[in-house]
Amino acid sequence: LPDILQDRLHQSPSHTQVLTSILLSLNALVSIAIAPFTGHLADGSKSKNQWMVLSWVTNAVGAVITAWSTTLVGLFIGRLIQTFAGSVIWIVGMAILGDTVGAKDLAKALGFAMLFVSAGLLCGPAVSGSLYQFVSYSMTWASVFAVLLLGLVLQLLIIGPFNYDMTAMRNATNQSSVSDMEDTLVRRPFLGSESTPSGAPYQSVQEYTSLPPQPQDAQASTHNVYWMMLRKKRVCTALVADILFAIVIASFETTIPIHINAVFHWESLQAGLLFLLLQAPSLVLVVPAGWLKDRIGMRYPVTIGFLCLAPSLWLLGVPGQKQFPWARDDDTNRAIFIITLLGIGVWRTLLLGFGAVEVLHGANELAAQSPGVFGPHGGYSRSFSMSNISWKLGMFVQPLLSGTLTEQMGYYEMNLVLGIPRVFDYQLSPPPSLALPSHPVPCMRPLSIDMSQPQPQSQVIALAGGTGDLGHYLQEELGNNPRYSVVILTRQSNPPTPQTANTTIHSTDYSLPSLLSILTSTNSTTLISLLRCPDPDYVPLHTTLLAACRLSPACKRFIPSEWAGDIEAYPDLPRAYRRTRAPFRALLAQTQGVEWTLFNHGWCMEYFLPETRSFRRCMPGEFPIDLGAWRYTVRGTGEEMQSWTCARDIARAVVRLLGVKAWVSSGRLIGGLGRSFERAYRSKANIEDDIKKYEDQPDSLELAIAEAEEWTISGATACPKEKTLQQREKFFSDIQFTTVGELLKKAEVEGRV
C-alpha cells in the first residue's frame, strides 16, 4: 500500500500512514457491517458452496480494480469489493468447515484453519514483497490472480453439502418417533409404564407421539439469535478477547514495515521475511498446542498466551529507544527485534482460533437449550459471523489507534499501550472435566475389576428420558451423591423442575447434533438411556445416542435402555427384543472407545404395590397381580423362577456401578427370588394364541401383554442365579437390597416409596 499510494497514485509521503490506516480500517468496517447479513443468508441456504464460488469471482473483480486503479477513489472501490467478497469467503468457508469435520474435531480443525489463514496473511507480504522488489508490479498482481484462480477451481471441486454430525450415523433419527419414559407405551413390561397422572386412562399410553418436525426458516427467524448468543458469558468473554488479539495482529501489518524502515532501513523484502518469521512457530507448534487445548480446555493456554504477549510487545518496541543502555547497539537491536518477533509467534500459537471455537461452543449450548432456534440448516455461519465481527472490529480499531499513537507518541509508546490490556485478557470459560479413559474396551466378555481405583471424583451423568418413573429414583440417588452432577435429556418443551440442585434439564429432539451439543457443553462422562419408543425406532435412536457418546469429548460410558432379565439364555424375549435389542447388541459388540454394560434386574418389585404407593406405573394385565381389581393370574405352570428388584435399589446399584473402574458387558441384579402365588390359570396355549392373534398389530396393548406373559412363563424374567449372586457380591456387596416384605411394610408406613 505505501508504494501504491506514493508511486502510482502520487500521494504525499506524509499522508501514507494515514491513508494506509484508513484503507485497512475501511476494510474492517465494511466486514463488520455485512457480516450479520452474510451469516443469515448463508444459514438460510441449502448450498453454502454457491456463495463461495460467487465470492471468488467477485474477489477477482475487486483485485483487478485495485491493481490497475490510477485514482484514490478507484483504489477505495476495489478494496471495498475485495472486502465484501473476502468477508463471505471467511464466514461461509468456516461454516462449511464446521459442518464437515463435526463438533468433536472442531477445535483441531479451526486450529489448522487459522494456521493456514494466518500463513496466507503473513506469507503474502513476503511473496509480494519479493516479487515486487526483484521482478515487477505486474508480476506481483499476476501471482494474486493465480491464487484466486486456484481458489475458484478448488471451490468448484467441492461436492457438498456435507454434514459430518448428520452423516456419522446413517440411521438418522430426524424422522423417527420417540418419546421419553414418561410419555409412551413401554414394550418392556419389567420397566413399568409412564408417569401419567393418577386416573389417566391406560388406553392413552398406546398413543406415542413423534419427534417435533424439523424447524422451518420462519420459526428460526422469530428469534434474535445474535442477542441470545451475546447473553452467554463465554461468548462475550471470547469476543472481547478476540478483539484485543486482532488489535495486536493488525498492529504488525500496519506499523512494522514503516518502523523497520525508519530504524533499520529495511525494505519490503525484509518486512515480508519478518512476517514469515512470525508465522514459523505455528508450523511446528500448532499440533501440540491444539492437543493441549483439547485436553484441558481453552482457558489456561489462552491466558498464558496473553500474559506472555504483554512483555513481548514492550520488548518489540525497545529497538531504536536510546533510554536503554543495553539496546543502543544496532546488532543488538536487530537481534532483540527478531527474537521477540519469534517469541510472539510462539505465544500466538496458543491463541489461534480460540474466539471462533468459544463462540461455536456457545452456539452448541444455545442449540441444546432451544432446539430449532437456528433453523433447518444450522447456525454455524451466524456464529462465525460474530467471531468475524469481533476480529474485524479489532482490525478496524487498530490501524486508527496505531497510526495515531505512532505519529503522536512513537512506536515504543504504542506497543506499551497495546501490551497493557494483555495482562487482563484471561478467564475464558473453564476447561471441561477430564474425560474417562478412552481406550477401547473389549466387548461381550467380562472385564477385570479393580475396586481400589475408583472413577474420577467428579462425573456428569446424562439421563436420556430421566424424568420418568425409574428416572425419578435415579435422579434422587445421583443427586444425593456429591460426586455426581445430573443432566436430564427430555423432549418436553416445559420440563419439570429438577429435584436436586446438581441437576439440570435440557430439551432435545434426540437428533445427533442436539445430543452431541448437550453432551459436549455439559461435559457429560456417562450416558444412560431410560427411553422407551416404538420398536422400529429403538435401533436408530440408540445408534444416535451411542454416536453422540462416542463423538463427544468426555462421554466414554453408555448404558442403553435394556433393563431386562436373563438375556443370555433368552436373548429374544420378550419377542420385541428380537427386533430391537438384538440388533443393537450386535452393534455394541463392534464398538470401541466407549465402555458399556447391559443392566438387568427382572421384575420391578413395585408391581406388588398399589398405584398410589409408588412412583412407578403399571399397565393392567402386565403383571400377574392386579391390585386394582384384587385379582391374580398364574401363567404357565406357576413354578417358573422369577427375579424381583426394588426400583430404588436398581437406582442405587447403577450409582454404585458408576464408581467402578471397569464394567462387565452385562450386569445382573436381583433383590429377591420367589415363586408364583396361588393361581387362576392362563395356559401357554392361551398366551400363544393371543400372540398369533395380535402379531399383525405390533403396537397393540394385547400383544404387549401376551409377550410379557410369554416372557414370564419361559423363566426369562429370572436373572441366572449363580452369575447374579457373584456380581452382587463383587459390585454391590455394600448395598442391603429390599425384600418384597420390607417393601410392603415401608409402603404402608411411608405411603409412597
Convert the pLDDT of each residue in 168-218 to its tens digit.
433 433 434 444 433 333 333 333 333 333 333 222 222 232 333 333 433
647 φ, ψ (degrees, to nearest 5): -60, -40
pLDDT > 90: percent of the chain: 4
**Among 12-21, 285-294, 428-437, 693-702, where is mean pLDDT lowest?**
428-437
- In DSSP notation, 298-362 reads SHHHHHHHHHHHHHHHHHHT-TT-TT-GGG-SHHHHHHHHHHHHHHHHHHHHHHTTHHHHHHHHH
SS3 assignment, position 644: strand
Asked if residues 521 and 431 have their Cβ atoms less than 8 Å apart, the reply is no
- Give the count of beta carbons closer than 10 Å to the beta carbon of residue 138: 11
pLDDT tier, 508 (very low <50, low <70, confident <90, very high otherwise): confident
Q: Residue 391, exposed/middle/buried by CB under 10 A (0-12, 13-18, 19+)?
A: buried
Same-fold call for 2-167+222-422 versus 444-750:
no
Q: Which pLDDT value is given to residue 676?
A: 43
- Give the count of beta carbons closer than 10 Å to the beta carbon of residue 664: 20
> Mean of the pLDDT values across residues 285-306?
78
Asked if residues 225 and 382 have their Cβ atoms less than 8 Å apart, the reply is yes
8 DSSP assignment = I
**C-alpha distances in Å from residue 508, one per residue of 81, 210, 211, 452, 493:** 42, 13, 10, 37, 8
| Domain boundaries, given as residue ranges, for the chain | 2-167+222-422, 444-750
Go through 7-24 and write b for each residue having 16 or more CB atoms within 10 A of its CB, e for each that does not. Answer: eeeebeeeebbbbbbbbb
**Among 106-115, 348-357, 428-437, where is mean pLDDT lowest?**
428-437
Go through 90-111 and write b for each residue having 16 or more CB atoms within 10 A of its CB, e for each that does not. Answer: bbbbbbbbbbbbbbbbbbbbbb
Asked if residues 580 and 542 have their Cβ atoms less than 8 Å apart, the reply is no
C-alpha cell recorded at residue 602: 427382572
Reported as half-sphere exposure (CB side, CA atoms, 13 A), residue 16 has a value of: 16
pLDDT tier, 369 (very low <50, low <70, confident <90, very high otherwise): low
Only one residue has cell 447403577, namely 654
pLDDT tier, 455 (very low <50, low <70, confident <90, very high otherwise): very low
**Among 82-96, 403-417, 529-543, 676-690, where is mean pLDDT lowest?**
676-690
> Mean of the pLDDT values across residues 330-350?
86
> Mean of the pLDDT values across residues 295-311?
82
477 φ, ψ (degrees, to nearest 5): -65, -40
> Mean of the pLDDT values across residues 45-64?
86
**Among 362-371, 486-495, 670-679, where is mean pLDDT lowest?**
670-679
Q: Which pLDDT value is given to residue 732?
A: 66
Q: Which pLDDT value is given to residue 290?
A: 73
- Give the count of beta carbons closer than 10 Å to the beta carbon of residue 701: 18
Q: Which pLDDT value is given to residue 161?
A: 54
Show Cβ contacts of residue 388 under 8 Å, excluding neighbours closer than 6 positions: 31, 35, 87, 90, 91
Q: Which pLDDT value is given to residue 59?
A: 92
Q: Is the pTM of this model over 0.75?
A: no
Q: Is the confidence at residue 606, as pLDDT, over 50?
A: yes
193 φ, ψ (degrees, to nearest 5): -105, -170
Rounded to whole angstroms, the Cα distance separating 381 from 48 reads 9
- Give the count of beta carbons closer than 10 Å to the beta carbon of residue 209: 11
pLDDT tier, 150 (very low <50, low <70, confident <90, very high otherwise): very high
Rounded to whole angstroms, the Cα distance separating 79 from 523 reads 44
Asked if residues 592 and 442 have their Cβ atoms less than 8 Å apart, the reply is no
pLDDT in tens, 542-567: 889 998 988 888 888 899 888 777 77
Q: Which pLDDT value is given to residue 499?
A: 62
Q: Is the confidence at residue 620, as pLDDT, over 50?
A: yes
> Mean of the pLDDT values across residues 391-406?
74
Q: How far apart are the first and last CA of the chain?
A: 78
> Mean of the pLDDT values across residues 353-372?
73
Q: How far is CA 426 from the centre of its chain?
A: 23
pLDDT tier, 153 (very low <50, low <70, confident <90, very high otherwise): very high
Rounded to whole angstroms, the Cα distance separating 530 from 157 reads 45
Q: Which pLDDT value is given to residue 58?
A: 93
Rounded to whole angstroms, the Cα distance separating 636 from 715 reads 10
Q: Is the confidence at residue 577, as pLDDT, over 80?
A: no
Asked if residues 372 and 214 have their Cβ atoms less than 8 Å apart, the reply is yes
Q: Which of 19, 15, 18, 415 is nearest to 247 (CA)?
A: 415
| H helices present in 409-436, as ranges | 411-422
**574 cis-preceded (ω within 30 degrees of 0):** yes
**CATH code 3.30.420.610 for 2-167+222-422:** no
> Mean of the pLDDT values across residues 674-690?
62
| H helices present in 556-700, as ranges | 576-579, 581-589, 647-658, 684-694
Asked if residues 461 and 480 have their Cβ atoms less than 8 Å apart, the reply is no
pLDDT tier, 61 (very low <50, low <70, confident <90, very high otherwise): very high
Q: Which pLDDT value is given to residue 162?
A: 52
> Given CA atoms 381, 382, 387, 388 in this order, what sign does their dihedral have?
positive
Q: Which of 418, 404, 402, 400 is nearest to 23 (CA)?
A: 400
Q: Which pLDDT value is given to residue 614?
A: 61
Go through 636-649 and write b for each residue having 16 or more CB atoms within 10 A of its CB, e for each that does not. Answer: beeebbbbbbbbbb
Q: Which residue has the higher pLDDT, 247 or 380?
A: 247
Q: Which pLDDT value is given to residue 697?
A: 77
**Among 341-345, 359-363, 485-489, where is mean pLDDT lowest?**
359-363
Q: Is the confidence at residue 433, as pLDDT, over 50?
A: no
Rounded to whole angstroms, the Cα distance separating 333 from 480 reads 64
C-alpha cell recorded at residue 144: 494474486
Average pLDDT, the chain: 72
Highest mean pLDDT among 277-286, 419-428, 718-727: 277-286
Asked if residues 130 and 139 have their Cβ atoms less than 8 Å apart, the reply is no
Q: Which residue has the higher pLDDT, 86 or 295?
A: 86
C-alpha cell recorded at residue 544: 444416535
Q: How far is CA 275 from the centre of its chain?
A: 35
Helix axis angle, 721-731 relative to 647-658, nearest 10°? 60
Asked if residues 20 and 1 have their Cβ atoms less than 8 Å apart, the reply is yes
pLDDT tier, 278 (very low <50, low <70, confident <90, very high otherwise): confident
> Mean of the pLDDT values across residues 706-733?
68
SS3 assignment, position 374: coil
Name the architecture of domain 444-750.
Answer: 3-Layer(aba) Sandwich (3.40)
Q: Which pLDDT value is given to residue 148?
A: 92
Rounded to whole angstroms, the Cα distance separating 214 from 3 reads 55
- Give the count of beta carbons closer than 10 Å to the beta carbon of residue 142: 14
Q: Is the confidence at residue 252, as pLDDT, over 50?
A: yes
pLDDT tier, 347 (very low <50, low <70, confident <90, very high otherwise): confident
Helix (H) / strand (E) containing 489? strand 484-490
- Give the count of beta carbons closer than 10 Å to the beta carbon of residue 351: 24
C-alpha cell recorded at residue 615: 412412583
Q: Residue 488, exposed/middle/buried by CB under 10 A (0-12, 13-18, 19+)?
A: buried
Q: Which residue has the higher pLDDT, 351 or 702?
A: 351
pLDDT tier, 650 (very low <50, low <70, confident <90, very high otherwise): confident
Looking at residue 430, its amino acid is: P
**Among 174-178, 356-360, 373-377, 486-490, where is mean pLDDT lowest?**
174-178
**Among 287-301, 390-404, 608-622, where is mean pLDDT lowest?**
608-622
Rounded to whole angstroms, the Cα distance separating 4 from 66 reads 10
Rounded to whole angstroms, the Cα distance separating 87 from 91 reads 6
Q: Which pLDDT value is given to residue 733?
A: 64
